[in-house]
Amino acid sequence: MIDLPLPLAYLTPLVTVLVVYVYRLRRREASAAAALQSSVQSGLTDPPSLHPVVDSSICVGSGGCTRACPEGALGIIKGKAHLVHPTLCIGHGACAAACPVEAIKLVFGTERRGVDIPYVKPNFETSVDGIYIAGELGGMGLIRNAAQQGLQAIESVSRHRAPPGQLDVVIVGAGPAGLSATLAAIEKKLRFVTIEQEESLGGCVYHYPRNKIVATHPVTLAIIGKVKLGEISKESLLAFWAGVIQQAKVPIQFGQRMEKISRVDGGFVLKTANTEYQARSILLAIGRRGSPNKLGVPGEELAKVVYRLSDPEQYRGQHVLVVGGGNAAIEAAVTIAAEPDTHVTLSYRNESFGRVTESNRTQLQQAQAQGQLTLALRTQVAQIEPRHVSLDGDDGPLVIENDVVIVCAGGVLPTPMLIELGIGVETKYGTV
Ligand SMILES: Cc1cc2nc3c(=O)[nH]c(=O)nc-3n(C[C@H](O)[C@H](O)[C@H](O)COP(=O)(O)OP(=O)(O)OC[C@H]3O[C@@H](n4cnc5c(N)ncnc54)[C@H](O)[C@@H]3O)c2cc1C
Ligand code: SF4
């Protein structure tokens, strides 16, 4: 064994630790820079709603925010924190809370892209008496916030009961806010109805990727009491809610979309496609994904036309047309194409895909190369029939065999309707 001089014996392990630290730091920074570059190249630079803005003159690059972010949306580049995956940010602010030097503030929208936030009073009433908003539509993300607000909004609603012949409240939406509000309405013995445009419970949560781990915070639900689920898979969370629904006999009208609200004496009339409800109050718990954009073509009313991908396995052995050019459309097409014996066509009106992630682009190319999927670029759906779909394209009309159409053409919030009703809405461009 060689005897090292005493200072060298101390220095060697120190230098080794330092070298490993610097190597790892550089590797993390390079990967964060590559992620940011890929987001910019793919045009995925706009966070959906509330998101962090880092003051680089204060940031010390501690990495507290990157470790705190459960979505992996932040990274450190040249010693400063950056939102490297803006579209992954769900706005719960764990990063801001973890920052040791308060370099992060949470804002809505960006300089280029405004986000409409309705004005909501502390009792959850909007600037129109009798119309309340709870959950993400009001600007605050997270399951716990939505559920808490649903409960509190119903406490406010219950102070103004309706006369006989009128409902106390219509609750719109069965995500965390609407579900919690519904439980509270049962507990308060209100006369109410809850409507949900989809056939599924859980709102946004229902559409998380399969097996996503959901970080939940303790929350109090009416009838059920305090719920502490911690980190739980999406499927287990939905199963928990399904159990709650059964236990509390929650009456939700699925497949009913709020189309219009009009004022009448002493309340409102809310219309869906086939029903109308008269109520003293309306609670909007509709989140921020909005209602799906429609194609507006003949045959779209057929039951085989859907607007979101649920279980891909159900499409095994079928002819599926996916319509759209964003990440949701590509993910739906690729996932279904991986099922045995499926014939998937992806129709998009443009010549190439713009705002999609590199990994989706690659997966699409692979599926196409393996013959699992047919791309129909520069085509638009002209007509949907029970066994076929007609596409209009540059090379003339194309008729393809079809069992299912999945339209992924984005969603639209009912902001014009809210404004028409007199609800104050502020468009925020990167402000609190
Ligand atoms: C990918 C992703 C991951 C997330 N991960 C987490 C997490 O780990 N932890 C966490 O706490 N939060 C997470 N969030 C945020 C959380 O899901 C939302 O903040 C929460 O679901 C908001 O609840 P909500 O009830 O306000 O709205 P939503 O969940 O969006 O529910 C709104 C409901 O209203 C319905 N609706 C809309 N318009 C109409 C209409 N016109 N008529 C009838 N019904 C209508 C919708 O169909 C929907 O079911 C995540 C979000 C995303 C996108
Ligand atoms: S707000 Fe939440 S999701 Fe967005 S960057 Fe911060 S910790 Fe991550």
- The share of the chain scoring above pLDDT 90, in percent, equals 75
pLDDT at 25: 81
- In short, whether 91's Cβ falls inside 6 Å of ligand 2 is yes
Separation of 344 CA from ligand 2 center, angstroms? 35
Q: pLDDT per residue over 371-414, tens digit each?
A: 999 999 999 999 999 999 999 998 889 999 999 999 999 888 88
- In short, whether 178's Cβ falls inside 6 Å of ligand 1 is yes
Cβ atoms of 135 and 219 closer than 8 Å:
no
Name the residue of 50, 133, 143 whose CB sits within 8 Å of the most ligand 1 atoms, as the mutation to test its pocket: 143
* List of residues 6+ apart from 326 with CB closer than 8 A: 355, 356, 408, 410
For the whole prediction, is pTM greater than 0.85? yes
> In CATH, what is the architecture of 116-290+413-428?
3-Layer(bba) Sandwich (3.50)
- In short, whether 95's Cβ falls inside 6 Å of ligand 2 is yes
Name the residue of 49, 89, 90, 217 whose CB sits within 8 Å of the most ligand 1 atoms, as the mutation to test its pocket: 90
Q: pLDDT per residue over 41-87, tens digit each?
A: 888 999 988 999 999 999 999 999 999 998 999 999 999 999 999 99
In sign, the C-alpha dihedral spanning 201, 204, 206, 211 is negative
Ligand nearest to the CA of 234: 1
- In short, whether 319's Cβ falls inside 6 Å of ligand 2 is no
Question: Are 116-290+413-428 and 305-410 the same fold in CATH?
Answer: yes
**Domain ranges within the chain, ordered by starting residue:** 6-113, 116-290+413-428, 305-410
- In short, whether 89's Cβ falls inside 6 Å of ligand 2 is yes
Ligand nearest to the CA of 149: 1
Q: pLDDT per residue over 227-254, tens digit each?
A: 999 899 999 999 999 999 888 888 899 9
- In short, whether 287's Cβ falls inside 6 Å of ligand 1 is yes
Residue 209, exposed/middle/buried by CB under 10 A (0-12, 13-18, 19+)?
exposed
pLDDT at 2: 59
Half-sphere exposure for 386 (CA within 13 Å, toward CB)? 0
Ligand nearest to the CA of 91: 2
**CATH T-level fold of 6-113:** Alpha-Beta Plaits (3.30.70)
Q: What is the mean pLDDT of residues 367-371?
A: 94
CATH assignment, 305-410: 3.50.50.60
Q: Residue with the nearest Cα to atom 16 of ligand 1?
A: 142
